[in-house]
């Protein structure tokens, strides 16, 4: 199973969230990365909507999970993914290509926002920060 995970919100190493701290204990930070898309403020957290425009990027980090099966189980629960409830889930976990700051590309798990973004505020520049978002 792919051990790489791209995070862009509350799980960032700089976000100060308890689940981000858990992720740091259960994974190795590879480095900064980006993925084409747009970032929206949902409430106190962001949502990534996939895109194809290379000028619109969402910035985050890639982690290598020590035990992907175990980690993805609690991460899915944290992201509110309920098996068999796809239509009700706010996010879906998919594998996508991300670009590391070094220019290297790799496949990583990413949580994409699935709901309507029309009423949401776009986060300019695709960088989420808890204090300013």
- Give CA angle at 103 (102, 107), nearest 5°: 105
Question: Which pLDDT band, with edges at 50, 70 and 90, does 86 fall under?
Answer: confident
Whether pLDDT at 43 is above 90: no
Q: How far is CA 126 from CA 33, 49, 133, in A?
A: 12, 11, 11
Give this prediction's pTM: 0.94
How many angstroms from the chain centroid is the CA of residue 118?
20
Tens of pLDDT along 101-130? 999 999 999 999 999 999 999 999 999 987
Whether pLDDT at 97 is above 60: yes
Q: How far is CA 110 from CA 9, 37, 119, in A?
A: 11, 12, 23
Tens of pLDDT along 48-81? 999 988 899 999 999 999 999 999 999 999 999 9
């Amino acid at each position: 199973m792919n051990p790489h995970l791209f995070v862009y919100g509350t799980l960032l190493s700089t976000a100060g969230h308890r689940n981000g701290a858990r992720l740091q204990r259960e994974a190795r930070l590879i480095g900064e990365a980006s993925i084409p898309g747009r970032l929206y403020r949902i409430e106190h957290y962001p949502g990534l909507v996939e895109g194809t425009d290379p000028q619109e990027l969402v910035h985050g980090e890639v982690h290598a999970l020590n035990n992907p099966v175990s980690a993805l189980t609690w991460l899915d629960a944290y992201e509110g993914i309920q098996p068999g409830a796809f239509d009700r889930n706010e996010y879906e976990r998919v594998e996508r290509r991300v670009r590391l700051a070094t220019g290297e590309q790799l496949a990583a798990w990413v949580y994409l926002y699935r709901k309507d973004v029309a009423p949401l505020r776009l986060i300019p520049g695709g960088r989420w920060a808890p204090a300013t978002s």
